[in-house]
Amino acid sequence: MESKAGEFSKRAITVEVTSNMGSARDIMLEYNISRVIVVVNGSPVSKVTEKAIGSYLLKNAANPLDKIPISKAMRSPIISVAADTSIDTCAKMMIENKISSLVVVDNAYVTILTKSDLVKLYAESRKRTPC
């Protein structure tokens, strides 16, 4: 049986589009994550990464993070897949689009599949398969 994105994705940590970069940074630090999904009324519209915040600050260091809208660091369009998308397809999409995560569309809530999830899955499959 082929593994599917919905089996390995985890609930995404989200922020509202009306948030500021300071809030996003605080959430990333609290949860020890490198990206948050930006939502409007619970629906994913973009993502913000540590790298995006850092890049913005490098060019625009004058204002405190709590005064800068999250929209200044958002990465769009967001790339998403259905929960029943194969893990192989997800990996190919990440490579082709040079991204490290995908939003997995699940009717219940916003989930995310990251490159770290794929590496863990690969490592676990190698443990079960004798060399």
pLDDT tens track for 48-61: 999 999 999 888 87
Residue 9 zone, left/alpha/beta (φ > 0; ψ -120 to 50; rest)? beta
**Mean pLDDT, residues 123-131 taken together:** 70
One-letter amino acid at 87 equals I
At the top level of CATH, which class does the domain 5-128 belong to?
alpha beta
**Mean pLDDT, residues 102-120 taken together:** 89
Question: What is the per-residue pLDDT across 14-44, written as a single tens digit (0 to 9) for each?
Answer: 999 999 999 999 999 999 999 999 999 888 9
- Nearest CA among 1, 7, 2 for reference residue 117: 7
pLDDT of residue 106: 77
pLDDT of residue 46: 94
Instruction: Check pLDDT > 60 for residue 131.
Output: no
Task: Tell me the pLDDT band of 90, cut-offs 50, 70 and 90.
Answer: very high
Distance CA 41, CA 126 (A): 40
Tokens read off for 97: 């689009």
Instruction: Check pLDDT > 80 for residue 74.
Output: yes
Distance CA 34, CA 109 (A): 20
